[in-house]
Amino acid sequence: MSFKSSDTLFGGELDRMTSIRTQSHLIFAPNGDLYAVIQRGNVGSAGETGLIIMKSTDEGATWTFVFQLFSGSDLSGSIILSQNFNMYIVAGTLLDTAAASHDFAFWKLTWNGSAWTVGSLTLIANASATESYSHPVIAQDSSGTLWAAARFFDSTNYVVKVFYSTDEGATWSDSTQMFGSSSTDTQKYPHFAINNGNKLGLLVMDELKLKWYVRNDSDSETAAWSAAVDVDDSEVGSYPYHYTTFTDRAGDVHLVYQLLGGGDKYYRKYSGGVWGARETWSTLGSYQDVYAIGDIIYAVGTNNNQLFLKKRVNGSWLGFRNIYSGDNTRRPKIAKQHLNEIHIIWQENSLSPFVIRYGIYKKGGKLVIQGG
């Protein structure tokens, strides 16, 4: 292992700069540039606060401002790279309240071979004084259809709603389906996962259980998804949370999560239409993400000031490896593209303002901390 001291890459005032746990925040452009969607709060120059896009052309050593999506500090966004190298971003509120400003928003950034052209904001769904959309995620299936999901609040109950677009986000339609039971439970965070290349999966925490729904890409957009499968349920009054996935080249889904109130972190693999047995990959801390290089699974987590990694080889989890020590290290997010390196952003909350850092876990067991 080798380490390199890191300067602040960019700062913010919120504990949720790289939130929410089910979202994606970091991607590579076709030319190798890095892009991150960050909620920066009120830190930064005029016009560079709130929900923004940051860019690095030197593997994270330096970052520059690209575009302000929203000036408000109560919004979070999720980002994907499309099959034709466009960038799609959705955004919604972080709050558990209804407001007319809590719309479900979408942007398409078109790749011209060397740079992005930022399109205008498109509303997937309008909020109102009594309705809001929060914690949004986005995915693209093998047919090219875009899917966007968000937690919907009607001033009393929460449920997950799913929308779709067959024209690259120019127009959006309601799938007419809702996921999870309508209740006052606020923990209904959606998360998409592609499975076997031609199926789309949706994870939703509902009534203390993590539930899994699947649709075939060849189905009509308004066709019913599968019945819910319970991936994991509550233990000692807790519930699964901080869940996120990575789909490997074979189309298998790798899931990491934990139970609220406990330090244990779990892993499951979805293959052949079946969720495998639950494995404990760590007993420390909170927040995690997962990645695969070939047949090796890498899980990254945080514990107080540590950013640590474990890998799963031939069905067994190998020893704990501390790859970075900082100040109240939290919320690691990995670039979910098929690369032979692990590219991570995370935040540190003991500094003022809070800071985002970036590192590359190189093949051979080295984490290179950029910005130093």
pLDDT digit string, tens, across residues 108-157: 999 888 888 889 899 999 999 999 998 899 999 999 999 999 999 999 99
Q: Domain map of the chain by residue range?
A: 10-369
Domain 10-369, what architecture? 6 Propeller (2.120)
Phi, psi at residue 223, to the nearest 5°? -70, 150
Task: Classify residue 168 as left (phi > 0), alpha (psi -120 to 50) or beta.
Answer: left
Mean pLDDT over each residue of the chain, to the nearest integer: 83
Q: Give the per-residue pLDDT at 96.
A: 77
Q: What is the residue whose two structure tokens read 């000036």?
A: 71
Encode pLDDT of 155-200 as tens digits: 999 999 999 999 999 999 999 999 999 999 888 989 999 887 799 9
Range scoring the smallest mean pLDDT among 23-27, 237-241, 272-276: 237-241
Task: Name the pLDDT band for 357 (thresholds 50, 70, 90).
Answer: confident
At 322, the amino acid letter reads: N
Buried b / exposed e over 24-41, threshold 16 CB at 10 Å, is: bbbbebeeebbbbbbbbb
Residue for token pair 């606060």: 49
pLDDT-based confidence at 5, cuts 50/70/90?
Answer: very low
Q: Is the predicted pLDDT of residue 291 greater than 60, yes or no?
A: yes
Q: Give per-residue pLDDT as tens, 8-67.
A: 455 554 444 555 566 777 888 888 888 888 877 777 777 888 888 888 888 777 888 888
CA distance 164 to 255: 24
Cα radius of gyration rounded to whole Å, the chain = 19
pLDDT value for 315: 93
- pTM for the structure as a whole: 0.90
Q: Give the pLDDT confidence of 336-356 residue by residue, as tens digits.
A: 877 788 888 887 776 666 777
